[in-house]
Each structure stands twice: as C-alpha cells, then as structure tokens.
Amino acid sequence: MNKKILVTGGAGYIGTHTCIALHAAGYDIVVYDNLSNSSREAINRVSILIGQPIDFIEGDIRDAESLRQAFVDHRFFGVIHFAGLKAVGESVTKPLLYYNNNVSGTITLLEVMRQYNVKNLIFSSSATVYGDPKFLPIDESSSRSCTNPYGQSKLTVEHILEDLAVSDESWNLIPLRYFNPVGAHPSGQIGEDPNDIPNNLMPYISQVAVGKLPKLSIFGNDYPTIDGTGVRDFIHVTDLAQGHVAALDYLKQQTSIEEHGSDEKSSDKKNSIGFLPINLGTGKGTSVLELVAAFSKVSEQNIPYHFVSRRAGDIASCYASADKAKDMLKWRAKLSITDMCQDTWRWQSMNPNGYDGSI
Ligand code: NAD
Ligand code: UFG
C-alpha cells in the first residue's frame, strides 16, 4: 500500500511536528520547502527525532518544473500542503506577494498533482475564514468572510478546492481549519521560531518570560468576554499534527473502500470525499489573561503586561465546534493549556534564539 506523502512547507512550525507524527504512524515523507520561513536546522532536528534522514527537496511551490521532478522521482499517495505565508499584517502591506505565494502557488501544486494523477490533498486552512463568527462554537457550516489578504488567500484556495471537487469527483480534498496552534514538541528540540518580534500571543508571552522582550501589550480589555480580553481556542501543535494523521488515515480508508467496492455498486458515490472542511480545535476558549496566568505559573516567571487599545481586525471570541473531527476522523485534542505552556516554555528556554545559535 502506497504510504508516501509529499509535505509542502514541512520545514515550518506545524509541518515539522506533523512530519514526526506521520513517521510514527508509518507514513513515508518527502518534505518540499523553499526555507523562506524555516531552516535546515529544523529539518536536521526532525531527522534526529525520528532517527533517520529526512527526504528533503528545497523548492518553491510556484516552480512547476521543480514540483514535477518531485512527482517523477516519487510515487505519492497524497499531499499535505502547509507551504504558505502567514503574517496577517505583512499581507496587508504585500497583498500581491500573499496572493502569489498562497493562491498561485496552490494552483501550480494542484495542476502538477492532476498531471500525475495524485488527487488526495490535505490543506492548511484557518479559522480566519470564519471572520467575525455569528455563533459560538463555530461549526464548519458557519458563514465565511475575510477582511485581510492572508485570510482572503485561504478562503480563495478553499473556493478553488470546492470548484475542483465539483468538476471532478475523483479529487479528495480536506481543508483543515486550524484554530490557534501553540506549544512545541515535548523534547524541546522543535518549536515555533518567529523571524522578528512575534505577532502572535504565545510566542510573545514566552519571549517576555525568557527576558527577550520587556513586556506584553494586551490588545483590549473591553471585549464582552470573561475578563474583557480576547478569547481563543488554543490547540497544542502535537494534537494538531495528530489531526493530520487522522485526516490522512480517514482519506486512505475511504479511498480504499472505494477501490474495493467499486464493482459492487458503481452508482453509489458515498465514499467519494470531494471537498470536506474540518475544524481542528479543542472546543474550549481561553482568554489572553488566563493564558498569561497559566504561562506565568508553569514558567515561574513574572510576565509584565499592560493594556493597550484593541488591534484592528481582532474579534472578541473564537472557538471551535470539534464535533465533526471527532465523528468523522475519530480525533480529538487531548492536551491542556498547562501542557501547551510547559512545552512552549521548554522549547523557549532551551532555544532562546530559536534555531539560530542554538545552545
Ligand atoms: P511556517 O511559516 O512555520 O511554515 C510554512 C512553511 O512553508 C515554511 O517552512 C516556509 O519556508 C514554507 N513556504 C512558504 N512559502 C513557500 C513556497 N512558495 N514554496 C515552498 N515552501 C514555502 O507556518 P506554520 O505556522 O507552520 O503554518 C503552516 C500552514 O498553516 C500555513 O499555510 C499557515 O497559513 C497555516 N496556518 C497557520 C496557523 C498558525 O497560527 N500557525 C493558523 C492557521 C493556519
Ligand atoms: N494578543 C495580544 N497581544 C499580542 C498578541 C496577541 O493581546 O501581542 C491577543 C489578540 O488581541 C487576540 C489573542 O491575543 O485577542 C490571540 O492573538 P493571536 O495573534 O495569537 O491570534 P489570532 O487569533 O489573532 O490569529 C491567529 C493567527 C491567524 C489565524 C487565526 C486563526 O495569527 O493567522 O489565529 O487560526 F488565522
């Protein structure tokens, strides 16, 4: 049975953790990454953690020739597509870069996949596609809208995947809508390594705790939430990684039922996956102040903070309905906020400068 998976963006934060989970589940992986937001050191560390060298191709998803070569050299069962740019603020100042990388890059990937008849895809989507949600918890049928180019690029790719599934039912396309991934591998060897001053809450808190940044600015304390600060569904990155394995196992199981059952009832289309969006979240909301308190307790560090005005584009509360993932993928997040803080702290204190100049 073919268990070879192309992992685009596999050198990044979520990609590295997912490579470890895929390897542990018996999948063979080939990482394809242009290293625009990651490093060879991350790949080296994954190799050490899994005890064997990683099959790594340095390449850009917008480079069709380089992608084709990967499909000539390997026979893939499917693709997990993490490659993309993810900074909301930067996407506002560089929209063409974001649409080119995230949308055009994905179209190029899909064209090459079609050419080599590899039609199984798991795509990194985001809870950002729900915009300001009308209901909580957010389920997959909630309406979608985005206000920034990063979010638009994710939503546009989702629309492309939907159209593709309608045009040809042999595609199996699962966008996983991540809520707020945080945490690190329990070894402390891999984790999130922001290039600059972090935009996101957890890496900001951990850099304050380790003394790299003086204090946290909390964006708003007048939201209609438990303590006035924003509420999010933080999910441990290793749980998230496991969610990808569950999605792939589901896809494999469904498509093999289809293969074996095809001569019995050829008109029965129930095993065709088509376009199947699934939330990956815990279903539980945590406020900014609650996360700061949990991190402070775990790290035994004081985390100075002050309140500033709301950040443009932020919403009050966002947390997932995790029922579809539980019902269909038999997956649920297991790790707690304490685990998330503990593992982030271990990674941050063992690697105060991320993958650069590691100690
Ligand atoms: P990351 O930046 O750590 O990883 C993305 C990887 O893709 C990097 O290694 C980068 O070098 C690579 N890459 C970017 N453009 C590429 C291109 N054109 N060709 C080849 N490789 C390219 O980000 P992450 O946090 O691991 O996120 C992975 C995916 O999940 C992204 O698509 C992101 O938008 C999505 N996502 C992330 C979050 C989050 O909070 N981290 C939330 C929702 C969705
Ligand atoms: N926050 C602060 N101070 C900071 C950073 C964040 O108070 O320095 C607050 C925000 O206002 C928000 C909460 O912490 O209330 C979480 O903010 P993040 O930036 O960590 O996460 P977001 O929910 O805003 O967005 C993230 C990713 C998006 C993704 C979205 C949903 O940045 O790309 O989760 O997955 F789309």
Binned at pLDDT 50, 70 and 90, residue 195 comes out as confident
CA of 188 to the centre of ligand 1 (A): 20
- With b for 16 or more beta-carbon neighbours within 10 A and e for fewer, the 222-256 pattern comes to ebebeebbbbbbbbbbbbbbbbbbbbbbbbbebbe
Q: How many helices (H) and strands (E) does the chain have?
A: 12, 15
Q: Are 237 and 329 in contact (CB under 8 A)?
A: no
The answer to whether residues 288 and 315 touch, using CB atoms and an 8 Å cutoff, is: no
Q: Which ligand is nearest to the CA of 241?
A: 1
pLDDT at 255: 87
pLDDT tens-place string over residues 67-124: 999 999 999 999 999 999 999 999 999 999 999 999 999 999 999 999 999 999 999 9
Instruction: Give pLDDT tens digits for 139-171.
Output: 999 999 998 999 999 999 999 999 999 999 999
**Residue 313 structure tokens:** 């584009």
Sign of the dihedral through C-alpha 65, 121, 124, 156: positive
Q: Is pLDDT at 261 greater than 90 in this prediction? A: no
Q: Is 144 in contact with 133 (CB distance < 8 Å)? A: no
Strand partners, 30: 6, 55
Sign of CA dihedral 82, 88, 92, 93: negative
Q: Which mutation among 92, 201, 235 tests ligand 2's pocket best, with the greatest number of atoms within 8 A of CB?
A: 201
Give the pocket of ligand 1 (CB within 6 Å): 8-9, 11-15, 33-38, 60-62, 82-86, 101, 105, 124, 126, 178, 181
* Whole-number pLDDT of residue 41: 97
Q: Give me the mean pLDDT over the 273-284 stretch.
A: 98
Any idea which of 52-61, 65-74, 191-200, 213-222 has the lowest mean pLDDT? Answer: 191-200
Distance CA 13, CA 339 (A): 17
pLDDT at position 267 is 43
Q: Is the pLDDT of residue 357 over 80?
A: no
Active site residues: 150
**123-139 pLDDT, tens digit each:** 999 999 999 999 999 99
DSSP for 251-277, written as a single string: HHHHHHHHHHHTTT-TT--TT--EE--
| Lookup: tokens for 195 | 């290039």
- Confidence band of 260 (pLDDT split at 50, 70, 90): low
Give yes or no for a contact between 280 and 235, defined as CB atoms under 8 angstroms apart: yes
Q: Which atom of ligand 2 is the closest one to the Cα of 223? A: 15
CA nearest 218: which of 290, 302, 309? 309
Contact yes or no for 171/274 (Cβ under 8 A): yes
To the nearest whole percent, how much of the chain has pLDDT over 90? 92
For residue 270, the model assigns a pLDDT of 43
- Ligand 2 binding pocket (C-beta < 6 A) is 86, 88, 126-128, 178-180, 199-201, 204, 216-219, 230, 232, 288, 311, 314
The domains of the chain, with CATH numbers, are: 4-356 (3.40.50.720)
